Structure 1
Amino acid sequence: MFKSAHRKPGQNTYASQVEKYSTLKYPHRLNFYDRPPLDDITIEEFEICALDRLRLLAEIESSYARNRTWEELKQVALKQSEHYLPLNSNTAKNKNIEAERRKDHIGHFVLRLAFCRTEELRRRFVKAELALFKVRYESDDRAEREEFLQSRDFGWDAVDDAELKMYAEQLAAASPPPMSQAGGKALEKYYKVRWTRVPDLVEKRRVFLKGGMAYVPAREQSSIIFEEFQRSLEKSLQLTLKHLPRLDEDTRIVPLLDNLSQGFMAGISSEWSSAPEAAGDEITADMIDGLARKHFPMCMRHLHESLRRDKHLKHHGRLQYGLFLKVLGLSIDEAIVFWRRSFSTMQDDKFNKEYKYNIRHSYGLEGKRANYPARSCQQILTSDTPGSQDSHGCPFRHFSSENLQTGLLSMYSSQGLGASDLLEVMSYVKNGHYHVACTRVFEITHSSQGVKKGDGVGNGESVTHPNQYASRSRELEKSSESVKVEGDGDVTMG
């Protein structure tokens, strides 16, 4: 089923790469994913489809964690969909609809493999996928949505006119008709289903029950559809779990699935591809103190302050911080200058023998000469758990509650974070939403630059990478400075 392939540098668009593979037809934008992909899929395609879908589902999870309203969640999901997983209607022009729907289809089934393993993963996956389906259902073209509904058997029976007249009073009482239906007569269509199919409507007392059947008005029809989607997906995940052992011997697939599930449990998407590119000009060793105070996320700021205090960092701390600085724009020459100054109590001979080689190695200049990416939030959260004497890791996960609150006030009070903000931040930490806590700190500390609650690091997106945090912070500063310069230029002299 799978073919090996390597992603080429600069390969940014997915749709143009899959036309030649597509053999299936996807007549509808909405999909219950009844049939798995049947054609050949490359390892590259397998990974890309899964990661881009995971980024979208992770933002939906973040929206729930941040208690966003449904409309706010919907807008975030639509923006993320446009970026990572576009899915246009049949009437869209100049769009490769077949490739878009193929990617959506494959990504869903890859994530099924990754998230069928435990009850917790299945529950969270179903919740996120159901939300995505609802967003698509509400934003779908009305005619195409109706075509999709006609293509499936949802197990409902249309209520005939005789029944409508017989129970007109009860139907109107359970679900008052729209204002246009004067007199309370049941003029709209109704459908009968077993009451267990619409527990949400039963709970809210919005349907008439008779003989174990719920009479659902057409305007509440979506509840039946959503329940059917959820039931179908839950059943499919159980079936997938039974077949999963067959993959255990495939050394290409299992590591990918492990990484995807770990990222989802951490609440963020995985980072198998390279980290974000450095934003702006190259930085020098002399600039790092200033950058750390203004732009670094807490994990990197803690590493920087530990380095300044102890004149040393242990191996995992050097690796986490060094790769972050590399991607931020620190050249190899400046990196050697920075680390030599930082290890100020160390003799030159010891530094050159024990540390200089490792710095050059991380830049791909020694050993196997690999271009190592900076560590993502998912990697920091799930690997190399720090001990009591270590400085690496994620403060939101690995610090005690007291130390975390003290550290937040110490590092960010000058940027607007106050004691009153800690209650909200710590509530995210308590519930295991560490990246949401970090995102909220970003919003608070950049409020003077126009960032509002819910904006995240742009378009409502949560922090998923330390370099993403730092790069966005620097971009906001440059934008503010540009606006200030333009404003000063408007002053006229008399």
Structure 2
Amino acid sequence: MTFYMKPPEGNIALKKLHQDAEIRLHFLYQIHQLLDEEQQMRKIFTHYPNLALNSECLIDGSQRDRISHFILRLASVKSKSFQIFLTDAETSLFQYRLLKGGEVAIKQSLKILRRHTRYALKHQLLNFHHQGLLEQIQEIVEQILTSSMLSCQKDDSCHHVLKVPWTMVSSLVRDRLVVVHGGQVDIPCHFLIQFLCSVFSAVLKHGIEELSSQRLDYEMSLSDQRIRAITQSLRHLFMSKCGGNHKLKIPYNITHKDVENESKFFPLCMQQLHKTLSRTNRLRHHARLRYTLFLKDIGLPVDENITFWEHFYSKSCKSSETGCNHSWLDNGGNRYKYSVRHVYGLEGGRINYTSHSCHALQVSIFNSIIFFVYIV
């Protein structure tokens, strides 16, 4: 199973390039609708015979498989929702391939990962974080291949564990499948596939971020008007399928009444915002936006999110530290209702916003500190 680290090589007709990318996008869309439903995923080609007739671009590791993947990656750069969709769907496809291939596929995948990691570290221009991730992956892959984890990965009673940084398996941490100790988590043998899927997702995210940050390379890729036209066409196709509002699949919805009890499980930054809100009944504008987005992405429906803020902003402000003295009664609460509906993609530009990443929050706080120091 390829991790799509190494860019594709060779020649392909422009028409075939476009067709393969569209076929892959259609296939990924169907997969994304059936996340975690393995039995139904097997029937996609039955239900959509046109995909079966043009499925050469989906043969794992083939040139057309890699080309169609990378052209979709290029098309996603300007759309955050496209990036989220692509990461989710490609990871689901990767997991399905591993499950179907068994131990042989897992071992092959690890060997490919080792080879491509070496290539990337030697030949690709990587930022500090991406390079660090690949170095960690290289070390861990060697541990797996030289251990007996592959032979007992289906044994729930096995006591073999692999210690990895929690940042490599953030999805497992998020779903509380593993416990963090000193920044490390223990990955048992029977979690090997989930671990590889987390690595695949992390590699893909970093690959897209690299493409986004290296503006010169990105613009050179689109300097060919034909490639630019294809990527625009693919974005339009994605918009038509997902309505421009790709939504993360959330296992359950919570209500505004659940937030207090659930807050003890929130990331520390969001716990702090919740404590400030509970103590003062107010948050500063940007803090309120961050917390609204976080509540949205953990499953709070739009009406429940509005009710949540109404509960606090209908009360009097208990402290001036938040710098906000507005009340829900101002303009009948329409200002806050609009703000919440806006981040759900129901107002304004109809963009379905997602939570800020840890890196984005850290950069924002760092810039605020620098600005404050400069002013003082």
Range of TM-score over shorter length: 0.3 to 0.5
- Greater fraction of residues in helix: 2
**TM superposition score normalised by structure 1:** 0.37
